[in-house]
Amino acid sequence: MRTTNLGQLTVSAQGLGCMGMSEWYGATDWDSSIATIGRALDLGVTFLDTADIYGAGFLTATVDVSTLHARDFRRRNPRFRGEAGQQNQAIVQAVREVAGARGVAPAQVALAWVYAQQERLGVSVAPIPGTKRVKWLEQNVAALDVTLTPDELAVLDPLATQVTGARY
């Protein structure tokens, strides 16, 4: 696992957001959550957090609001519902198309875009995508090996300004 420095702290180049392991998203699975944390440590992930900052799975292209648990906050989130939810699907589709052309998952493209911001911003970046499943953790860590081309960044960079709906 690559590392990065955040001030005087050296951490893994990618973290693990653990908020999805809580009841915020609905039913929890203690054993699965502990297995995911254990696997993260095995993979060298040393930066753990409880905040979900990557859109609650939005850019993974795997969220179907109609199938979410009744207590899952995304059922009420303005970015996932109504007209805003429909408009935001164009963003998901753009990410999906870049991912399809690369043969990687949309979540990996989203994370690779975050990594690409290091050069533009001139600061270290260590994304903390949240998951409670080992398979998604492994997919997220594999995103460290995805380097986007200038053409792909030209497609993805404007998407952030196109998000519709309040964050919460």
- Provide block-wise average pLDDT over 10 residues at a time, the chain (168 residues): 86 83 69 87 85 60 77 76 84 93 95 87 77 90 95 93 77
pTM over 0.75: no
The pLDDT tens digits of the residues spanning 44-72 come to 988 887 654 445 667 777 777 778 778 77
Q: Specify the DSSP element, H or E, that contains 97.
A: helix 82-102
Phi, psi of 48 (to 5 degrees): -110, 145
Angle, CA 59 vertex, CA 137 and CA 15 arms, to 5°: 35
